[in-house]
Amino acid sequence: MKFVGVTACPTGIAHTYMAAEALEEAAKELGYEIKVETQGSMGIENELTIEEIASADAIILAVDMSISGADRFSGKPVLKLGVSEAIKNPSAIIAQAVRLVEKGEDIPEDNLSGEETQNEEKNEEKRKGLFGWLKQK
């Protein structure tokens, strides 16, 4: 199972990076792949590529503020939580993401439609969404 994630906190000096490290370590321990983009005081680092997002089974957003490029994830199962939760209990969050992928549990309402109907039309929309985001950059 593969995950991608984003961490971001208001000052972007410490917690953004602690949360990223915590998620990376927990995923490694549990035997999953993860790449975590940090949106902190140094801007966006370890930026997720369109391919990485497309091939991820679920998205983990550990954010205390609005992030840039949130629309990249539309149509994917998203687990959203606060930065401090990721620092405090990263293993539980990875486990929750695994459950989200396996059973479709805890999917936020705005993602439900994208999950339930995996038809051509939806996939097309998803691609448009990604390209739209690319163009904005």
| Helix or strand holding residue 37 (H, E) | strand 33-40
What are the tokens at 58? 């679920």
Would you say 40 or 114 has its CB closer to another protein?
Answer: 40
* 3-class DSSP assignment, residue 59: strand
Of 20-28, 93-101, 111-119, 129-137, the segment contacting another protein by CB under 8 A is 20-28
Q: For another protein, which residue of 3, 53, 64, 72 counts as binding (CB under 8 A)?
A: 64
What are the tokens at 13? 């000096």
Q: For another protein, which residue of 4, 87, 101, 130 counts as binding (CB under 8 A)?
A: 87
The answer to whether 57 is a known catalytic residue is: no
Neighbouring C-beta atoms of residue 74, cutoff 10 Å: 18
Would you say 93 or 130 has its CB closer to another protein?
Answer: 93
Would you say 75 or 90 has its CB closer to another protein?
Answer: 90
Please state the three-class secondary structure of 80-115 as a single string.
EECHHHHHHCHHHHHHHHHHHHHHCCCCCHHHHHHH
Interaction with another protein in 24-53: which residues (CB under 8 A)?
25, 38, 40-42
Of 16-24, 54-62, 67-75, 123-131, the segment contacting another protein by CB under 8 A is 16-24
φ, ψ at 23 (rounded to 5°): -65, -40
CA 22 from chain centre, in angstroms, equals 14
- The residues carrying an active-site annotation are 9
Binding region for another protein (CB under 8 A) = 10-11, 13-18, 20-22, 25, 38, 40-42, 64, 82, 84-85, 87-88
